[in-house]
Amino acid sequence: MSLIRLLPAKFHAAADYLVALALILVPLIVRGSTLAVATGVVVGVVVAVVSALTRYPLGVVKVLPFTVHSAGDYLAVVLLLGAPFALRFNHTNPGLTAFYIAAGLAVLFVSLITNYQYSPKRAGKPATQPALAVGQIPVQQAPAFQQAPTQTAPLPQVTPGYAAAPAQPVGQPGQPGTVQANGVARVAVADAAAPSPSFPPSLARELAVAYQAATQQAAAQQAAAEQAAADLAAAQQGAAEQIAAQQAAAEQAAAYQAAADQAAVQKAAAERAAQVAAEQAAAYQSAAQYAAAQYAEHQAAWEQASAKHAAHQAAAEQGAGHQAAAEQAAAEQAAREAAAHQAAAEQAAAELAAAQKSWDEERAAWQAATDQAAAEKAAWEQAAAHQAEWEQAAAQPVPASRPVCEPQRVV
């Protein structure tokens, strides 16, 4: 958690204790407000306690790893930089505010250049392996799945169970080369040919078999982990798709609900329009009936006036001169009355035709309003069905993701 691994752990520890001491003493000496002094004392005590518990050179009870200590350093930086502004004593105590900000920046700088990869075992280990002494050979290292240090062992003595091979004569047929007379060389050849007593062949075979079995089991567990990861990814993708589908269904259901509400409003408006159209149709029907009655009445009056005109005309032709003039005037009056009744009858017929036409239009509008109300009712029922389907889909549980198989430890 650092940018440059430059500062060793012991210098970082010394800096921690110095910062803790400064954070405790400076506020008590300056004597600022209660919150300002308490901030420095509390952060200083926490830094001192964490430093004492850290597993590094100046730690007292070495419990916390140095990497965990680094998280505490960055937390102290955040507290020192943010406390004056969060507790609002930056205006009342500007000196302590500047001190806390400087301390926070100093802790941040030290944390960014500290080498947090400190370990007591690594600190006490020499940089290079010591050279082998004369008469010693390195013991074979443990397999790759065990972390075993390299050690040295003395040259084994020849025992009856591990006798050295007899030397071959110089000129024996079928054997290339010669056998050296040096005893050290013969012992080295015999030691290379025969296994060491501290590492018998049976143990080597068992270790090789165990290593091969562990390798196979690790490969199988790796394959199982990859398969589980693939299953987990597929399950997560399926869950995401189902969530997206449910969200889309929710949006569609909301749209259907809005459409249903609008359909209900339109249905009510259509029913009101149909009712008004029915009332107007009844009114126009009454007007048409009244116009028909007026037309019949005027038609009868016209016929009566025509008959009277014909009678007066006949009387005028048959009567005397003075009576002829009177009858002629009566006939003309009857003719005028007949014409008036004829005009009234025609007007009544026109009103009847207009009323019939209006009634037909209102009846067509009422029928259209009734059809629209039926369509809106069907749309509302469809929206209600979609709403029920969405609620049923939302009630279905999302399948849980399969956990990744944890590899078993090889004993």
State the DSSP string of 170-211.
TT-TT--S-----HHHHHHHHHHHSPPTTS-HHHHHHHHHHH
Q: How far apart are CA 138 and CA 131, in angstroms?
A: 10
Same structural domain, 238 and 383: yes
Q: Are residues 113 and 248 in the same domain?
A: no
- Classify residue 148: in a domain, yes or no: no
Q: pLDDT tens for residues 87-104? A: 999 999 999 999 999 999
More confident residue, 254 or 101: 101
3-state SS assignment for residue 67: helix
Question: pLDDT > 70: what percent of the chain?
Answer: 74
Number of compact structural domains in the chain: 2
Is residue 232 in some structural domain? yes
Tell me: do 258 and 377 sit in the same domain.
yes
Percent of the chain whose pLDDT exceeds 90: 25
Q: Is the pLDDT of residue 130 over 70?
A: no
On whether both 235 and 97 belong to a single domain, the answer is no
pLDDT of residue 140: 44
Residue 122 has a pLDDT of 56
127 has a pLDDT exceeding 50: no
237 and 111, same domain (yes or no): no
Asked if residue 283 is part of any domain, the answer here is yes
Four-CA torsion 202, 205, 210, 211, nearest 10 degrees: 140
HSE at residue 74, side-chain half, CA atoms within 13 A, is 11
Domain assignment present for 139: no
Q: Identify any residues that bridge with 7 across adjacent strands, giving them in sequence order.
A: 114
* 193 in any annotated domain: no
The whole-number average pLDDT for the span 285-297 is 82
Which of 95, 118, 141 marks a domain boundary? 118
For residues 241 and 381, membership in a common domain is answered with: yes
Least confidently predicted of 30-39, 140-149, 354-363: 140-149
Token digits for 282? Answer: 């009844």
Average pLDDT, the chain: 76
Residue 49 has pLDDT above 80, yes or no: yes
Q: Domain range for residue 284?
A: 227-299+348-395
Domain boundary among the residues 118, 150, 174 is at 118
Domain ends where: 118, 153, 185?
118
| pLDDT tens digits, 8-38 | 999 999 999 999 999 999 999 988 889 999 9
Same domain, 107 and 234: no
pLDDT tens-digit readout, 192-238: 444 444 556 777 888 888 888 888 988 998 999 999 999 999 999 98
Give the Cα separation of 212 and 53 in Å (integer).
Answer: 43
CB 3 within 8 A of CB 113: yes
Q: Locate all alpha helices (DSSP H) within 31-91, ordered by sequence.
A: 34-53, 66-86
pLDDT average, residue stretch 387-395? 75
* pLDDT attached to residue 107: 94
Q: Which of 90-104, 178-192, 271-285 has the highest mean pLDDT?
A: 90-104
Residue 287 within any structural domain of the chain: yes
Q: At residue 67, does pLDDT exceed 60?
A: yes
Average pLDDT rounded to a whole number, residues 375-380: 80
> Which pLDDT value is given to residue 153?
43
The dihedrals phi and psi of 384, each to the nearest 5 degrees, come to -65, -40
Q: How confident is the model at residue 109, as a pLDDT?
A: 93
Is residue 375 a part of any domain in this protein?
Answer: yes
Count CA atoms closer than 13 A to 306's CA, side-chain side. Answer: 9
Residues 245 and 376 in one domain: yes
pLDDT band at 136 (very low <50, low <70, confident <90, very high): very low
The verdict on 379 and 239 lying in the same domain is: yes
Per-residue model confidence as pLDDT tens digits over 320-343: 566 667 777 877 888 888 788 888
